[in-house]
A = this chain, B = another copy of it.
Amino acid sequence: MSEEIRVKNTGLRGVTVADSGISFIDGEKGVLIYRGYRIEDLADRSSFMETVFLLLFGVLPSVEQLEGFTRQVKDMRRVPDFVIESMRHWPKDARPMDVLQACVPLLSMAEEHSDAMDRQVCLNRSIGLVARMPTLVAAWHRIRSGQPVLEPDAELDHAANFLWMLQGRRPDPATARDLDVCLILHADHTFNASTFAAREVVSTRASLYAGVSAGLGALSGSLHGGANAKVMEMLLALEHEPDIEGWVKEQLLQGDRIMGMGHAIYKTGDPRAVYLKKMGQRLGEQTGGKWAAISHKIEETALAVFAAQGKTTILPNVDFNSAPVYYLMGIPTDLMTPVFAISRVAGWCAHIIEEQFADVQGKPALYRPQAQYVGEYCGLMGCEYSPLDKRK
């Protein structure tokens, strides 16, 4: 046992809890690396399928490996019929993140489970979850909209097939490529709250599905993956606002936050946000530029207010710039966090496998921190219990 260490009530900020070989962030320099490769290289020159292979297997695939892997993912896109049949019983106004959280244990039910920990089994299940997450999101949207659930199309790649299953029309190649790049950019981000939750859950030797389900739960929070939907709600609310500058100043004067501004790690800019901003501007130019203009005014005003307060590290994050991009692709606001999940499931699975099979220097251990007890305490023997009928 290590000597006692206290890092109370700071959310483990700045505390290094494990070794990991999956991704690396330099928050001062604005750098994000997956398995050695900068995300700019991956976004410019790779595909989401190749990035998933890199995250799960640790190396870039050969031509043959990528073909085989892509085929395997395509072959696993369908979900069991009982999952779709179950969905038809659910309230149509259910939150899509609740739907995903319900569906992942259903996928677990379709598997044979054994006590033996098997890396190959976990890899296959990871590939299955990457393959099926878009199917689940699209199927739920079709069911809640009273539209027929569509079969996956093996002719289409991962992002294009998702848009097809969601919208019932094949997307143009540029839109499909843009979404593919968004998936690359969101696929991993070291020990963020959802990834840490996934690792923590499987440290008990719980299944990969239990870990991914915990990741989905954490991602749904508005301080994490839920933020992209909150950004879009803000943009939509400001669509006809004549004085955006005044609105932003009033928000900040009241002590409220501007959704999509600031990051726990990045202090000089989020490299994903830089990339998505350019994408949003390009898409915006094709569609009138309304959201890019609103975003720009919010950013400009907020940064000026922050600068006047001497705060130079609160900058637009990935959610600020991904939300309008997804909107312009026709993705409903409440599916923006699920789209984040469609990408991040790759990172969660890579981390779960690392946690369970310890392919890094130190062997991970069951997470079991301590709390400082600050409650009632009447001597070591406890408070005196007074029977119910003697209580006031």
Contact = CB atoms under 8 A, between A and B. Distances in A.
Interface of A: 1-24, 26, 29, 31, 33, 35-38, 41-42, 45-46, 50, 58, 60-63, 66, 82, 85-86, 89-91, 94-95, 97-99, 101-106, 108-110, 113, 115, 190-194, 196-197, 200-207, 209-211, 213-214, 216-224, 226, 264-265, 360-378, 380-383, 385-389, 391-392
Contact of A221 (B202, B360, B370): B202
Contacts of A2: 7, 10, 13-15
Contact of A218 (B97, B101, B214, B391): B214
Given A105-B99, A360-B374, A218 B191 contact: no
Nearest to A60: B391
Contact of A98 (B18, B209, B221): B209
Contact of A6 (B16, B95, B98): B16
Given A210-B220, A220-B206, A373-B20, A192 B383 contact: no
Contacts of A42: 385
A323 to B, nearest CB: 16
Contact of A217 (B98, B210, B367): B210
Nearest to A391: B62
A115 B227 CA distance: 12
A28 B3 CA distance: 16
B370 A190 contact: yes
A220 B264 CA distance: 31
B20 A374 contact: yes
B365 A13 contact: yes
Identical chains in the assembly: 2
B364 A11 contact: yes
Nearest to A22: B375
A14 B370 contact: yes
Contacts of A205: 221-223, 226
A181 to B, nearest CB: 15
A218 B217 CA distance: 13
Contacts of A209: 98
Contacts of A388: 50, 60-61, 63, 66
B91 A113 contact: no
B200 A223 contact: no
A231 B62 CA distance: 46
A161 to B, nearest CB: 20
Contacts of A192: 368
